[in-house]
Chain A
Amino acid sequence: MTNLRIPFSLILLLWLLPLQPVSSQTPPAHAIINSTIHHADGSETESGSIVWRDGIIASIGRADSIEIPFDARIIDGGDSLHVYPGLVDGLALWGSPERSGPPERVDNPGEPGYERAGIQPDRLPSKLIQSSDEVFSNALKQGYTTALIGLEGYMLPGQTEIFFLHDNDTKSQIYREKIGFLFQFEPAPGGWGNRAYPTTTMGVMARFRQLLYDAEALMQHLDYYSESEPGMPVPQRDEVLEALFPILNQEKEIFFAADSKEDIERYLRLHDEFDLNSVIVSGGEAYRVSEELLERDIPVLASFNLPDPPEWYSTLREEGESEVPEVSGPEEERYRKRQLNSWLDRVKNIRSLLDAGVHVGFASNGLSLDDIQEKTNFLLDEGEITAGELLTIMTSSTSSILGISTHTGALREGMIANFSLWTNPTNEEEARILKTVSNGTIIQF
């Protein structure tokens, strides 16, 4: 800790200096020098420096090879601070309005209307998320800078859009709008006593198909109408169906959220049928369909939402064998063995996917930030994932799946300045975050 004291006070000092811009045209540059730079591919640059201006990384590399501009505000890491690329969340529900409460009973449950059925592909996060939600500053505090944001809901809860995180104005930090649709096998709310179509997975699948057929017809109608001489009936406009046109045109991704092998397999039928551009989100059991995913070149944005380990196994890990309740007999012994194997299979999901060659990124998909941290430990301890691989997954791999890897997700010259500064390597317990730079904006903690 002693060797930290000097550079740390230096940082604070530099930070507080009220520097004036040198020129009104050119905003000042910023630089972090003498820090360990952790790269998205797991490699490190010791005694590295990074310079950015206008939200873009101007130069990065070993400190002795980097020229620091005269107008740069400098943070000297004193060879003890650590820079990480900003984490990218492949699908976050941050700031989303909550799913509405118990729905109204519909007069005709078979035709409940789009909204009641959970069919809302026209909803946009950029219109609906609450920037004031503290989740954004919390995410920044954990080193996240970028997220594909979706909305909570049912079958088709809305579109997905990429944002840079901001502690109180993420909404304005939209980076890519309308890049895809979240889709899930979530029946319309209400349950048996207050049902509305669709009430089952097979119903959701059928409804999805019919929506695309209806959209196709409307698209054709609009198309014909635009070129028709007078006399053609006017198309009945429909915001929901029109929102789906890009799916038919194969312009946008479907982010399909599911965990079970069977649900993913079911979705693949739709993928094949409509030749969709697909990304699997969450994908807890995706390892069991890795071949099918690979065949179709479908990436997985894996959630770290792992099941809890067997209770007895937690006890074993935390308190030692002597504290584990004895088995009642061979039946329980067999049971425990299968239970643990089943858990380990799930924990090794990402490992298996990577080994199979599936493109894996990360998505929180509703998992809280605290839980992510906790589950990450399972991945590192039991999931056969290294810290470097984890970093890759949560940065460059995810941005590549989102199609933004040329601009963010790694620390290179010309990339967007998205990174965070830490006192220690993040896998060390005493690691504390000092700042996060998101789209060039510095957020200090």
Chain B
Amino acid sequence: MTLSKSKRYSISEQTYVCLRRAFLLTALILFHSGTADLRAQITGKPAYGDFAITNATVHTVTNGIIEGGVVLVEEGEITHVGSNVRVPDSVHRIDATGLHLYPGFIDSFTHLGLVEISAVPVTVDHRELGTHNPQVQAVTAINPHAVAIPVTRVGGVTTVISSPASSQVAGKAALIDLWGYTPEAMAVTERAALVVEWPSLPADTSNEDAMERYESQRDELDDYWQDAQFYESMISAYNQGEATTSRPERNLRLEAMREVVRGEIPVILRVNRERDILKALEWISNYPEISFLFQGVAEGWRVASRIAEAEVPVIVNTLYTPLRSYDNYQRPYQNPGLLAEAGVLVLLGTGETENVRNLLFEAGYAAAYGLGREEALKSITINPARAWGVEDRFGSIEPGKQANLVLTDGDPFEPSTHIHNVMINGYLIPMESRQQQLFEEFLDWDATR
């Protein structure tokens, strides 16, 4: 499974060595583990078993960098991390000399698996009709065979929030690993958060009609939240046997709000503008029992200290244009850094579907414009693991954590770096996607004529 290379091609030798190594390595392991020939599959089957990744520069995220490190993976779990780990003979060794090992990268806001081709409506499953849909769940409609999923994971993103979107209460987002044949197998947390679109103030607050629309959206949200709280207290009371009347009518939607108002799952508020952020901060202070995260937060830098005070984590990105015509051109790049500096917990989320792989470059921009490399790395590893309540299993290379690992030949934020191997939940993923297959097929197909 190596690339044939005719003489007139000039791809650097190093790249070829890298690519060849990646393929050879996978093939070798697959051979050992007795799986079928890769080429028989659309994407090949992964290798599963016990692995020792040796001689790697291990970026643990939480415990510094280990040069010449060894990471032992057994039954999908990281069991040992260090420079002096005894490697049992039974495990597959992956020699990572000259390579860097990172925990799997996490994108905290995507629509991956829900949208196949955005301009073809029948393939778009992230926008349900209606204003309030707390009952809809992304996990239901995530297509494990979406073409974008392999494209994304071979880029090093192993885990994403996949989210619905709509006019107000959009539904529940799932935290998924990008490997598995069913949504259930992929899901880390099926209902990871409720997604709410924060109503945006109109451009001209003196425009009465626009203000009226805004106020009514705000009222709708307030009313809905109060209905949910009432429903929850009514049902709890009934369940505790306090009710004297018969069983209250069941409301599917409000039922889905119960875990939200009880604070059992967090709420992602999508909000971007300065004044909207301030309004949203005011609103969430009414619900101290609920954990809120803000997503978008394009003007977060304007009110960073206020967000920090409220201890609201943010899900941001960098590759967009400044919102106001008189904004400095760098603000989108600086936003994560300025927020972090103020003390806000920063997670990165591309908001993308087919190009979630750009997460690493968004992180690179954040790093270059103030966030710094270390914090940028955290914003796509341990920070999201904490925010999504899976810190015990994700976000760093530590014993006891799920084996989501990425092996690279350099700084993963640098576009010149190649991703060599990806492991998700202990599965050594075939480094294949339709995009890479097209490359193999067409790079030098002329040579075969």
Contact = CB atoms under 8 A, between A and B. Distances in A.
Direct contact of A and B (CB under 8 A): yes
Interface of A: 331, 334-335
A331 B326 CA distance: 9
Contacts, number: 3
Interface string B316-359: 00000000001000000000000000000000000000000000
Contacts of B326: 331, 334-335
A331 B327 CA distance: 10
Contacts of A334: 326
B331 to A, nearest CB: 12
3 contacts: A331-B326, A334-B326, A335-B326
Nearest to B206: A311
The DSSP consensus for interface residues of chain A is helix
B205 to A, nearest CB: 12
Nearest to A338: B326
A331 B409 CA distance: 45
A236 B342 CA distance: 77
A187 to B, nearest CB: 25
A335 B326 CA distance: 8
A166 B326 CA distance: 51
Interface of B: 326
A374 B147 CA distance: 63
The DSSP consensus for interface residues of chain B is loop
Nearest to A331: B326
A334 B326 CA distance: 10
Contacts of A331: 326
Nearest to A334: B326
A330 to B, nearest CB: 12
Nearest to A335: B326
Nearest to A329: B302
A325 to B, nearest CB: 12
Contacts of A335: 326
B222 to A, nearest CB: 27
B116 to A, nearest CB: 27
A434 to B, nearest CB: 41
A331 B325 CA distance: 12
A203 B92 CA distance: 68
A407 to B, nearest CB: 49
A309 to B, nearest CB: 16
A1 to B, nearest CB: 42
Nearest to B327: A331
A219 to B, nearest CB: 48
Nearest to B274: A328
A334 B327 CA distance: 12
In the A-B complex, the 3 residue pairs with the closest CB atoms: A335-B326, A331-B326, A334-B326
A312 to B, nearest CB: 13
A334 B325 CA distance: 13
A273 to B, nearest CB: 34
A331 B322 CA distance: 15
A69 B326 CA distance: 69
B139 to A, nearest CB: 38
A359 B326 CA distance: 36
A77 to B, nearest CB: 48
Nearest to A311: B206
B151 to A, nearest CB: 34
A311 to B, nearest CB: 9
A275 B326 CA distance: 41
Nearest to B302: A331
A361 to B, nearest CB: 35
A67 B326 CA distance: 68
A313 to B, nearest CB: 16
A331 B299 CA distance: 14
A338 to B, nearest CB: 8
B277 to A, nearest CB: 15
B324 to A, nearest CB: 9
A334 B324 CA distance: 14
A44 B15 CA distance: 89
B233 to A, nearest CB: 41
A339 to B, nearest CB: 10
A42 to B, nearest CB: 41
B274 to A, nearest CB: 10
B284 to A, nearest CB: 23
A68 B132 CA distance: 86
A188 to B, nearest CB: 28
A36 B326 CA distance: 53
A248 B326 CA distance: 46
A331 B301 CA distance: 14
B200 to A, nearest CB: 19
B425 to A, nearest CB: 48
A335 B325 CA distance: 11
